[in-house]
Amino acid sequence: MSDQLDVDAMVARFRERAEAVKKRNLPPVAGPERTRLVQQAQTDYQDFAIIGDAEASLDDGVLTLRIDLRPPS
């Protein structure tokens, strides 16, 4: 499998997923259920965006994601 993994494409898919979460419509729900869906969308976006910003490498079968979490200077 590692010979077939395109790490750049994988990271690009996570970027696409982050954008899809931002554009996702919420179903017509209210109250605590809506709050839960909004919180889950925020978590999904954060997770996908973090991986989408990663510098990825595959060396000797080890996938490494380098993610700079420092605030911009």
Report the domain count for the chain. Answer: 1
Predicted confidence at residue 72, as pLDDT, reads 86
Q: What are the tens digits of pLDDT across the range 30-67?
A: 999 999 999 999 999 999 999 999 999 999 989 999 99
Specify if 1 maps to a domain: no
Flag whether pLDDT at 73 surpasses 50.
yes
pTM, 2 dp: 0.79
The one-letter code for the residue type at 56 is A
Domain with 31 in it: 7-66
Please check whether residue 62 is in contact with residue 1, taking contact to mean a CB–CB distance below 8 angstroms. no
DSSP 2-22: TTT--HHHHHHHHHHHHHHHH
| pLDDT > 70? residue 7 | yes
Q: Is residue 51 part of a domain?
A: yes
